[in-house]
Amino acid sequence: MSDSHLCTIAQHGVAWLTLNRPDKRNALTRTLLAEMLIDVRKLAANPDVRVIVLNGSGSVFCAGMDLAEMQEVAESPDAETFWQQDAQLFCDLLTAIFTTPKPVIAVLQGPALAGGVGLVLACDLVLAAETAYFSLPEPRRGIVPSIVTPLLTYRMAAGGASSMLISGERIMAARAREWGLCHDVVPADELGTRTDELIAALLTGSPQALAETKRQLIHSAGNDVVGRLEAAVEASAAARKTTDAREGLAAFLEKRPPSWQPET
């Protein structure tokens, strides 16, 4: 276990990736994203790893991108370069999780917001406590969840995706299961037991058969998720250049309502 904000433990064929910034609601910094990308790629190439579990410490699974860091970038003279790099990094991480030949389980002890929803959507199976919820509040911050959108529309029908993307409302785990975002929802005190049961079931499967099954699932969807993720990088970076994006981030950090300006 490292001293970073990501704890990675692999034993008995199972690798646990734990987001470990509970005091910051496991918000994603560029350093944390880079560490996750390195570890996911290593685990994907490790023949001793059969299953990957992604979870979070504290009461929140992941609150999305670290908005304080985003504000610092917005004030930097190299902001556009950083925005492009950050969008590409997030895309690379989601692609790595989505395409790894190992089954990946997301275990939500609490809410997943914004980019945290993207992490969940990239996983194959999602277990959630009854109190967990999903939210895509980016428009309320003046930004756009461009890189999350291809995975969202891959996992669920367009109607539900539209509701989440546009309303920004919380979607409780039970409703998310109806929409295909969760595969099992249990009381919080049963989450560990259910996770162990699912891991045990996956370990009975053939690694080669599971890897091929994942490839077939992605291919059969026919909507080129990986290509759409890559195409979303430019849109994500461009959305952060707007005056609304700057106002939305500032308002959130200053704990005040944003003052949106009409387009000119």
The catalytically annotated residue of 69, 72, 80, 138 is: 138
Burial of residue 143 (CB within 10 Å: 0-12, 13-18, 19+) is buried
- Please identify which residue in the block is written with the tokens 């304080």: 68
Pairing of strands 6-11, 14-19: antiparallel
Distance of CA 259 to the CA centre of its chain: 28
Extended beta strands in 22-78, E state = 51-56
d(CA 40, CA 238): 27
Extended beta strands in 130-195, E state = 133-135, 171-172, 184-186
Neighbours of 103 (CB within 10 A): 23
User: What is the DSSP-derived secondary structure letter of residue 11?
Assistant: E
Question: What angle is formed at CA 202 by the lines to CA 201 and CA 207, rounded to 5 degrees?
Answer: 145
d(CA 40, CA 93): 8
d(CA 119, CA 95): 10
d(CA 118, CA 148): 5
Is 138 part of the annotated catalytic residue set? yes
The residues assigned a catalytic role are 138
